[in-house]
Copies of this chain bind each other. A is one copy, B any other.
Amino acid sequence: MAMGPSDGTPGLGGTKGLFSPVSVDRISEVIVEQVRLLIREGKLVPGDRLPSERSLCEQFGVSRVTVREALRVLEASGLVEIRVGARGGAFVIQPSSERVGKGLAELMTLASMTAGDVTEARMVFELGILPLVVERATEEDIADLRALVEQGLSALESGSYTMAMSAAFHVRVASAAHNPAIEMLVQTFHGPMLMSLQQAHVAAPLMGPRGAHEHFELVEAIEQRDLERARGIMTRHLQRTADRLANYSDPRLENPGGEE
């Protein structure tokens, strides 16, 4: 008999008469908010499993549809991961820098930003963190960077160099600053960058032997803790990227085709 939210018991037991806001809208949103809060408070930590959908229905006093919509939102927000089958369910996950950056990249792609905007912001940031990187890079960081350079060089020879490889290098450099916020942001920058460049099929021209060699030199400078040299190399490297990008008529990211 489909009791709607109009009768006395809208589902969330105990809300008789003392609603806090005006919110009568969207029960699923209330559920989302509750779970979000539990996660933020640490009552739910990554790895924890939420009750099954059917169980949540009972606890919240709502139908399965509503619970499922809430779970969809939580999943889309990157807070939980849903697995099917027995012992499945919604598991709280650790929002990794990678995951976060990816979601943001999606939105940046759609925002009103030009490739030039992104490049400019990138220059500010990647140059700004160099002091930190030069100061804090560990041997492991440098070893990883060397490996990436090697990998890049051989890929370049075989003609299989991709923008993703360049992005990986820059992100790894940033991670040597040993600051999660910085790492995430650099990662974020490369998302929309990649999309734009790959769609325009300009990966190869952007990264010639010269670029690869600059990567090599940069690692060297970092290893020698030579900030000025590192800064010089990075400036040249990014500036060249910016210049080449400009030659592609600076297409808006959300419309890689360009139409002028």
A interface residues, Cβ below 8 angstroms from B = 28, 36, 39-40, 42, 65, 68-69, 72-73, 75-79, 94-97, 99-100, 103-104, 106-113, 117-118, 120-121, 124-125, 127-129, 132, 179-182, 184-185, 189, 254-255
Contact = CB atoms under 8 A, between A and B. Distances in A.
> Which 6 A/B pairs are nearest by Cβ-Cβ distance?
A124-B128, A76-B76, A121-B181, A128-B128, A73-B76, A117-B181
A185 B184 contact: no
A179 B120 contact: yes
Nearest to A116: B179
Q: Is the interface of A mostly helix, strand, loop or mixed?
A: helix
B95 A107 contact: yes
* Chain copies in complex: 2
B110 A179 contact: no
B107 A103 contact: yes
15 contacts: A28-B72, A40-B254, A42-B255, A73-B76, A76-B76, A77-B107, A94-B112, A95-B111, A96-B111, A100-B104, A100-B107, A117-B181, A120-B179, A124-B129, A125-B125
